[in-house]
């Protein structure tokens, strides 16, 4: 998908990773060393946001599937759902923006791109929500600004129902 001067696409060998730095060591290390391996193993699909003028990777996120335990969801959500042991969801496992590209709204752009992909996928495989793991208060506040709700059993794991994403 193209967003002005930026293009999002699946991570490939052609994407330069060594220069990427979001300032969070675990996210940088994952992108530099683990993202390609997870992709080859079918554990996650990394997507990159590329600056089309320079070719630089300015951000990335990963998608994978997960099961959501009903007890993790608020009662207001589960009372409208069948009594299944788990519900299908999509996890945005990691989301990061290069430090040199901060302040341009790229985090929001990455999130919207991920949510659009998740919605499309949910129409093909079935998924009732998108789940994110916020690493700290600032990340949690970022996701909450977009309507994400906290799971009842984890302060930093949040979800957004597909029905809400469809309305966005």
Q: Give one DSSP letter per residue of 88-120, joined into a string.
A: EEEEEEEEEE-GGGTTSSHHHHHHHHHHHHHHH
- On the question of pLDDT at 69 being above 80, the answer is yes
- On the question of pLDDT at 140 being above 70, the answer is yes
What's residue 4's pLDDT?
Answer: 83
Residues 92 and 114 sit within 8 Å (Cβ to Cβ): yes
**Mean per-residue pLDDT for 125-142?**
96
Strand partners, 59: 49, 97
- 68: tokens are 């959501």
**CATH number for position 111:** 3.40.630.30
Residues 8 and 118 sit within 8 Å (Cβ to Cβ): no
Structural domain count, the chain: 1
- On the question of pLDDT at 2 being above 70, the answer is no
Average pLDDT, the chain: 95
pTM listed for this prediction: 0.94
Question: What is the spatial distance between Cα 51 and Cα 30, in angstroms, rounded to a whole number?
Answer: 21
- What pLDDT, in 10s, does the model give residues 36-51? 999 999 999 999 999 9
pLDDT-derived band of residue 168, with 50, 70 and 90 as boundaries? confident
**Exposure of 111 by Cβ count < 10 A (0-12 exposed, 13-18 middle, 19+ buried)?**
buried
Domain that holds residue 21: 2-167
Question: What is the spatial distance between Cα 80 and Cα 60, in angstroms, rounded to a whole number?
Answer: 34
């Amino acid at each position: 998908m193209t967003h002005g001067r930026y293009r999002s696409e699946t991570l490939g060998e052609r994407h330069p990773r060594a220069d990427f730095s979001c300032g969070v060591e675990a996210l940088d290390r994952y992108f530099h060393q683990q993202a390609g391996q997870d992709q080859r193993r079918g554990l996650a699909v990394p997507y990159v946001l590329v600056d089309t003028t320079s070719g630089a990777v300015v951000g990335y996120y990963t998608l994978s599937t997960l099961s959501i335990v009903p007890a993790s969801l608020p009662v207001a959500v589960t009372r409208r759902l069948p009594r299944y042991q788990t519900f299908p969801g999509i996890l945005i496992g990691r989301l990061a923006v290069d430090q040199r590209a901060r302040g341009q709204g790229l985090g929001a752009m990455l999130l919207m791109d991920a949510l659009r992909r998740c919605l499309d996928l949910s129409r093909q495989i079935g998924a009732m929500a998108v789940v994110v793991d916020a690493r700290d208060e600032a990340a949690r506040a970022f996701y909450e600004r977009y309507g994400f709700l906290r799971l009842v059993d984890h302060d930093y794991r949040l979800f957004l129902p597909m029905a809400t994403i469809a309305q966005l």
